[in-house]
Amino acid sequence: MQGVMLAMISEPAANGFPKFIWCVANDGRVFEAKTHPSTPGQYHGYPLEGEDDMKAYVTKTWAARCQALG
């Protein structure tokens, strides 16, 4: 839910739902949730692990957006 509130979403697909939603847990773990075209709006989440460019981007962007909210 926080990922949506902070606009940590990919561009909407043709069905109107974003394909991906990202969030960062309080302990710093980064998660990605993905939907499938046959089940729009239903997401499966999993942690992004290791040295991943997307993980680094999400962490940096999350911190900036949280800071902007105060």
Query: Model-level pTM?
Result: 0.87
8-59 residue pLDDT tens: 999 988 888 999 999 999 999 999 999 988 898 899 999 998 888 999 999 9
Enumerate the domain spans of the chain: 2-69
pLDDT band at 6 (very low <50, low <70, confident <90, very high): confident
Q: Is 39 helix (H, G, I), strand (E, B) or coil?
A: coil
Nearest of 70, 51, 49, 56 to residue 6 by alpha carbon: 70
Predicted pLDDT of residue 10 = 94
Strand partners, 35: 43
pLDDT band at 62 (very low <50, low <70, confident <90, very high): very high
| Separation CA 53–CA 70 (nearest Å) | 26
| Separation CA 55–CA 70 (nearest Å) | 23
